[in-house]
Amino acid sequence: MKIPNPISRTLPISIFCVGLIISCSGVRTVDFETPVDTSDKQITFQERQVYFQEDLGLFVDNTFDGARLNGVEKLNDSTLKAIIRPENEPINSSPYYAFKIASNTPKKMYVSLEYPQGHAHRYAPKVKKPTKDWEILDSTKIFIMDSLVTLELSLDEQPTLIAAQELQTSEQVKDWYQDLSSGKGYVRPYIYGTSKMGRELPVMDIYRGGKTSKPIIVLLTRQHPPEVTGFFAFKAFLETVLDDSELSNTFLDTHRVLAFPILNPDGVDLGHWRHNAGGVDTNRDWSKYRQPEIHQAVEFIEEQLKKDGARLLLGLDFHSTHKDVFYTNTSQEGSTLPHFEKDWFSALEENIPHYKVNESSGNSTKPVSKGWFLKRHRAVGITYEIGDNTPRGRIRTIGRVSAQEMMKILRSNTNLN
């Protein structure tokens, strides 16, 4: 099913605002060297259904949040083709898939994932049986030929969930942040807006005591739906900031954290490869804020800074890519914390066993959040990337230690002032 470009309700106002530096909502836009057109693009919705292959006795299901399956075809008596398509193109090559499959009788089957031409396989398949934990499918059961990836599966009547990464839907994210906040009066979950399709946009506003003039740290994640390993690091990071230790308590006496646990809930629940429901990469929208998710996040951040006379110190945006890497801004002159990266990275190497920081420094020419933190607020901006295949226990360690070392550096920085 195709949907037409949604007509923005604010269109007449937007036209009126063209040429002004400050948009009508009072949010200051930021210019980047290479502008990106982030106006709405058409997306194609997958049809949600249970496919039944009668002669094979197989059921294949995409009727759940986070699913991605665009069609099913029988190739032969032991092989089924699962058609996987992105929400729209052009798109970053991150073929994401997720579906359930069950068989009337226990048997071995092959499922071939078919991506569009030109999109290489990225995510090692994860498998989940009901009541069991996620497992990575053994590499001897994966056969890759160009854009066709064949998986050998042992099926039975219990639905087996096959996915590019462990599912972390908007509902699961909500359960997590509500659990984490409960009983902690200094954590204030707040819905700062709604996504294009009406899903909640949550933020956790965190500080102890008063908030006036407290420097602010912004944590972002899930702009890109399948980047679940970045979200795992975000979870470990935030759980450490909220662990009620002496370090956490003293840090939150002097700092305030705004943590955005899911910036693109539509994309997450629709099983998108990269974009939001406006068909746009939201991490290219940190200039003109044309997408509601980014516009409202920026508006919320700016409001807090203004209302409470605060400075934005640091912004960390959690993502995933092929390996662990920190993308930093090269020009940091005059920034809020000119030595932060250097101090933080050496502390990580000292405190994480056998760990070497992989830093890639560059100036953001495109409108990404890292560049926005620096250009708009002279704040340190870092894209915190975790590898797709980094072991999950290792991600927890990196997330935990990076939070501890950040708190130590910022706390001592406050003491010096």
CB of 86 to Zn ion, least distance (A): 15
From the list 45-53, 304-312, 319-327, 348-356, the region that binds Zn ion by CB under 5 A is 319-327
Residues 216-255: x where in contact with Zn ion by CB under 5 A, - otherwise, as a string: --------x--x----------------------------
List the catalytic residue out of 87, 114, 227, 385.
385
Q: Is 370 in the site for Zn ion (CB under 5 A)?
A: no
From the list 93-101, 148-156, 311-319, 389-397, the region that binds Zn ion by CB under 5 A is 311-319
Pairing label, strands 135-136, 325-328: unpaired
List Cβ neighbours of 179 (8 Å cut-off, separation of 6 or more): none
Query: Of the two residues 215 and 226, which places its CB atom closer to Zn ion in the complex?
Result: 226
Query: Of the two residues 82 and 228, which places its CB atom closer to Zn ion in the complex?
Result: 228
Q: Are 82 and 113 in contact (CB under 8 A)?
A: yes
Residues 170-209: x where in contact with Zn ion by CB under 5 A, - otherwise, as a string: ----------------------------------------
From the list 98-106, 312-320, 335-343, 404-412, the region that binds Zn ion by CB under 5 A is 312-320
Provide the phi-psi class of 19: left if phi over 0, else alpha when psi is between -120 and 50, else beta. Answer: left
DSSP-H helix ranges across 41-125:
none
CA 102 vs CA 51, 135, 148: distances in Å: 11, 17, 21
123, 230, 296, 275 alpha-carbon torsion, rounded to 10°? -10
Query: Of the two residues 207 and 327, which places its CB atom closer to Zn ion in the complex?
Result: 327
From 100, 211, 319, 377, residue interacting with Zn ion (rule: CB under 5 A): 319
Query: Of the two residues 344 and 384, which places its CB atom closer to Zn ion in the complex?
Result: 384
Q: Which two tokens stand for residue 277?
A: 């429901």
List the beta bridge partners of residue 148: 114, 145
From the list 40-48, 244-252, 313-321, 340-348, the region that binds Zn ion by CB under 5 A is 313-321
Can you tell me which residue has the tokens 């390996």? 323
Q: Which two tokens stand for residue 396?
A: 């927890």
Query: Of the two residues 207 and 326, which places its CB atom closer to Zn ion in the complex?
Result: 326
CB of 319 to Zn ion, least distance (A): 3
Q: Which residue sits closest to Zn ion, CB atoms considered?
A: 319
CB of 286 to Zn ion, least distance (A): 13
Name the E strands within 236-339: 256-260, 312-321, 325-328
Residue type, 72: V
From the list 61-69, 89-97, 315-323, 335-343, the region that binds Zn ion by CB under 5 A is 315-323
- How far is residue 357's CA from residue 349's CA, in Å, rounded to a whole number? 7
Name the E strands within 212-354: 216-221, 256-260, 312-321, 325-328
CB of 270 to Zn ion, least distance (A): 17
Contacts with Zn ion: how many residues (CB under 5 A)?
3
CA-based radius of gyration for the chain? 22
Helical pair 228-241 and 170-181, crossing angle rounded to 10 deg: 10
Residue 135 among the catalytic residues: no
Query: Of the two residues 258 and 263, which places its CB atom closer to Zn ion in the complex?
Result: 263
Query: Of the two residues 262 and 410, which places its CB atom closer to Zn ion in the complex?
Result: 262
- How far is residue 326's CA from residue 347's CA, in Å, rounded to a whole number? 14
- How far is residue 82's CA from residue 76's CA, in Å, rounded to a whole number? 13
- How far is residue 273's CA from residue 289's CA, in Å, rounded to a whole number? 21
Residue ranges that bind Zn ion, judged by CB under 5 A: 224, 227, 319
Active site residues: 385
